[in-house]
Structure 1
Amino acid sequence: MLHGKTLLITGVLMESSIAFHVARLAQENGATVILTSFGRTMKITQAIARRLPEPAPVIELDVQDEEHLATLADRLGEHCDQLDGVLHSIGFAPEGAFTFLDASWEDVATAMHVSAYSLKALGVAALPRMRDGGSIVGLTFDASFAWPVYDWMGVAKAAFESTSRYLARDLGPKGVRCNLVAAGPIRTTAAKSIPGFEQFEEMWDSRAPLGWDVEDGRPAAQACVALLSDWFPATTGEIVHVDGGVHAMGA
């Protein structure tokens, strides 16, 4: 499905992460994979990269660092000439952002920068290597509702989803698609940083017509791989739900 393609994958921090499953499935389907990490997590990502079917290089990328973004295309050139796809699996909010009425602008601004604006920043930074077009795929948590405990991260995800649509508009003429996968709750590093996230785990399986396993990131990863492939050549600005069907249920 991805034979001959080169993909840039962010957010690989543990084997349970959706990003790790995407990297593994991408390699199994013929892709060359390049990972990103930064700071203290670089060593973690490098160790996890060795658990993939084929070891993958890890380049440094902090989406809040303008120099990292400005030099990304050149640094990618050390590993590939053409980039065919990007997985955005990045999200962070300070603890204060999970108390909606008391959150400071500083905490909210950080959540918006890392979890929403970074999609545009990453897309623009990777664009010089996407000369033949390609696909950008991001991971979201359905921002159509006000969820328990999610608070300003939910607002950031709403901005993230809107950013994807505008990115689809502006990159479409360059042959680049931008779509999102709205995954149900998975026990990932990001999930563990959300106070009270177990509330999602407790209710999701009972509301999902297809059932839901919070330990299994593969269904969401399979959707990402499909969107990164050539099987959706005329789809952009879309949100694909991989949540067991919860988004379609009233109660």
Structure 2
Amino acid sequence: MLLAADVGNTNVVFALIDQGEIKARWRIASDPRRTGDEYAVWLLQLAEFQGFDSGDIDQVIIGSVVPRAIHNLTVLSEKYLGITPLIAGQGAAEWGFELDIEQPSSLGADRALNTIAAHEKYEGDLIVIDFGTATTFDVVDFNGAYKGGIIAPGINLSLDALVGNTAKLPRIAIEKPGSDSVIGRNTEDQMLIGVFWGYVSLIEGLIARMKKEIGRPATVVATGGLAVLFDEHTDLFDQVDSDLTLNGLGILAGRSA
């Protein structure tokens, strides 16, 4: 069984994957100071609570956009599981696809893993949108090559900046406004319209521009926590795949076995 760790700027997601199927997943806040011992106490107890035996884990892969976290997760793997982990993008776990961009080494592990999984699962040219701390838009051509993309502030990051830099605006939850009107009648409605429909407009505009530049039909694949929210209230996406990054880790680990 494979233990996959997807380390983002906000959360670390661990998953147990058996023959390509995700059997369990757990999430913890990202903190590069968290030690391998702390990870072990938290993770191995959760696995046991759900009936999994750490002795069944025979492979570990780490994909991280937080370089400082890799060492402590390596300690977790080697000290508590007796396994030298694969590091996504390095050594036996090199990406294995063309990076047709000016600075290949700058591509985040999450975006590379999304590229692998999206090309494996969907045909033709792809636009992959990942709603994380940042919202990223990535173009993958029909041969699986990574062609470039866009990085935009994540919607929560945008809301934090709005609330944190104003004296009177309240904290609001991100959700679809109760009305389809884009003329708000009170402060909270006006904020929600700006955040939700403003972000929808950003996504629509960027997708349209990317499709025009690609010049061929492109399938839009969305992943990340807020993909479902936008999918429920718009028709922006052709596919919503919440486990795209974890699936990328599983595919990469399978190729490296």
Classify the TM-score, shorter chain. 0.3 to 0.5
Provide the TM-score with structure 2 as the length reference. Answer: 0.38
**Bigger share in helix:** 1
**Bigger share in strand:** 2
Provide the TM-score with structure 1 as the length reference. Answer: 0.39
Larger-Rg structure: 2
